[in-house]
A and B are shown apart, each in its own frame.
Chain A
Amino acid sequence: MINLRNISLQRNGKQILESIDLDLPPGALTMILGPNGAGKTSLFEILTGQLTPQGGVITWENALFGNWSAKEMAIRRTVLSQQMHVNFPIQVEDLVGMGNYAVRNLIKDEEHRSIVRYALRKVGMTAFRNRSFPSLSGGEQQRVLLAKCIVQLESNYWRPHTQYLFLDEATANLDIKQKHEVMQLVKNIIQRREIGVVAIVHDLGLAATYADRIILLKQGKVLAQGDCKVTLTPANISKTFELKSHQIPTLFLDNLTHLA
């Protein structure tokens, strides 16, 4: 479990995050939603170890977060980013194998290859293993990057730490079908092991379909957190995204009547 208590962050004299209290349980998919400028990216950068907050405490399995080396972070968490641009003809197999970077010299060659094969099979990209990464379509690239994350998780699963997978708007550039494929794969990963997944998303529909927990951020504060049905109410949605009642997707209006 990752716990954030009273986290605050200022940048250039501006308050970005203010007294954030969050719980991110393992074995669940937590989605962070909010309008642009709500502080999602800053929160994400704090969680992945790129930013240090000025105030507050983060604990990771009751251990104080921070002061971990890049490799110590890498065995605890992996990140699936938004589509990236690569100028070099990296072979898919090589790219997926990079997931092992932090522990490569602890792993035998044969084991390394079998983890890579497993990850490629898991995302259905085995046939593409000898292709050059830049020659793939957006959806295919995202699946290869997910396979890299699987390698990073798999090669450290025997460690005592709980592992987390962070998704940084990982489906933003994909079409609807591709989005669902990637999210389904992520769900499969959670089911296999007690891995915590934390995702930043823009798509309310995607959140309602896949999230176990929702965190609504607005102007650096947590507006609501908890189960989908409790958090994704028309009132919360309209408050978070500043939508008028007729602008709220009907899906969530139904949700309310269903709950009532």
Chain B
Amino acid sequence: MKVGNKIYWLLWAGLILSILGSLMFGAYAMNSTELFQGLFSFSGPEGKIGEGFLIYHIRLPRVLLAALVGAGLASVGAAIQGLFRNPLADPTLIGVSSGAVLFAVLAIVLTKSYWSTLPDWIQQTSVSLSAFIGGVITTFVVYAISKKDQYVSVMTMLLAGIAISALASAIVGVCIYLSDDQQLRDITFWTLGSLSGTNWLQVGILSPLVVGGLWLLNKQAATINALLLGEKEAAYLGVKVESVKTLIILIAALITGVCISFTGIIGFVGLIIPHFLRLLLGSNYTQLLPSSAILGALFLVITDTFARTIVAPAELPLGIITALIGAPFFLWLIYRTNNNQVML
């Protein structure tokens, strides 16, 4: 069996175990017997709220959302790194996250007067939609600025991304200043990232977009491989470079946009997951994309379990946990890579 296949099985097994484990832990912990009883029954004994209710109404949608968002962010990170030929590129760096947050915040604040009168699903879809549009717009602005003579300058791209992020956070700052208490809570939610209050509606909106987006992205795996050699080389091999770039950026903005619109900024997933897998598997995107999706899901399911159990019954924002775990791990990876003289 190839190393790649073994790792797939390990990753899938890990993901399923982490999902089951995540269903058990929480403000109310259950043991494995209770978990399995709960999985097959909705109501608890004597009409009380049972494990089944807890699992199906509260924990399962949240765990599924964590898995979808993790899969989406990690795969998009890998794809963006391939497109820009830079292992340090990340959806946050190219401005898509800050743009999504900015537009989400604008949607919350500008619709101030009649916001609370709207039905829940309209509130959620309109914020998600504007977050998505914001993500796409900022990505294209950053991309257009960094493109000169058919060549995308990575340096310009990073600088443009930083500048646009700064601009976005300044405008978000103005919005915070203008907002009332309820809106302030919503805004804080966007900027720190959290999965609290997840419901099936969100899972329902997110899953077709993320699954569909990842399916499209995986179909581009061989093309991203060719792009790693540079746009010119890819064109020599038969890649329609300009349309492929547009497609990948659109998918990346779509997935990142919708994920962030439900969870707020969750950093580091798109950076460390592909990087770690590249050390294990190499950089063949036909393997890297699917394995990034699974490991990303696994990572976010586990970190979200930490986020809601460490200070239970309260919870920590997820974005803080991913950075707390992700940053030191990433530093260790870089240190190790440097010492062993392995190429990135």
A residues sitting closer than 8 Å to B (CB atoms) are: 48, 50, 69-71, 73-75, 77-79, 81, 84, 86-91, 94-95, 98-99, 101-102, 104, 132, 134-135, 152
Contact = CB atoms under 8 A, between A and B. Distances in A.
Interface in B213-251: 222-223, 225-226, 228-230, 232-233, 235-241
List 4 tightest A-B contacts by C-beta distance, closest first. A74-B238, A102-B238, A88-B283, A71-B238
Given A84-B233, A86-B229, A90-B284, A101 B278 contact: no
Contacts of A132: 282, 343
Given A70-B239, A101-B222, 18 more contacts: A48-B236, A73-B238, A87-B87, A87-B228, A88-B85, A88-B228, A89-B342, A89-B344, A90-B283, A90-B284, A94-B284, A99-B237, A101-B237, A101-B238, A102-B238, A104-B222, A132-B282, A134-B343
B120 to A, nearest CB: 44
A88 B279 CA distance: 10
A154 B278 CA distance: 30
A81 B228 contact: no
A10 B173 CA distance: 50
Nearest to B228: A88
B236 A91 contact: no
A70 B282 contact: no
Given A87-B87, A132-B343, A98 B236 contact: no
A98 B229 contact: yes
B236 A74 contact: yes
B238 A84 contact: no
Nearest to B241: A70
A78 B236 contact: yes
Nearest to A71: B238
A89 B229 CA distance: 11
Interface in B313-344: 342-344
A135 B343 CA distance: 7
Contacts, number: 78
Contacts of B283: 88-90
A99 B222 CA distance: 11
Interface in B2-20: none
Contacts of A81: 232-233, 236
B211 to A, nearest CB: 23
Contacts of B343: 89, 132, 134-135
B43 interface: no
A144 to B, nearest CB: 11
A221 B228 CA distance: 36
20 contacts: A50-B232, A70-B238, A70-B240, A70-B241, A74-B237, A79-B236, A81-B233, A81-B236, A84-B233, A86-B85, A87-B87, A89-B343, A90-B225, A90-B228, A94-B225, A94-B284, A98-B222, A98-B225, A98-B226, A98-B229
A225 B88 CA distance: 48
Most buried by A among B230, B236, B239, B282: B236
A73 B237 CA distance: 9
Contacts of A50: 232, 235
Contact of B344 (A48, A88, A91): A88
B86 interface: yes
A89 B237 contact: no
B148 to A, nearest CB: 14
B282 A89 contact: yes
A153 to B, nearest CB: 12
Most buried by B among A50, A71, A79, A90: A90
A94 B237 contact: no
Contacts of B240: 69-70
A84 B238 CA distance: 18
A75 B236 CA distance: 10
Contact of B87 (A70, A88, A95, A101): A88
Most buried by A among B82, B230, B237: B237
B164 to A, nearest CB: 24
B282 A90 contact: yes
Contacts of B87: 87-88
Nearest to B237: A101
Most buried by B among A77, A98, A99: A98
A48 B240 CA distance: 14
Interface string B275-293: 0001000111000000000
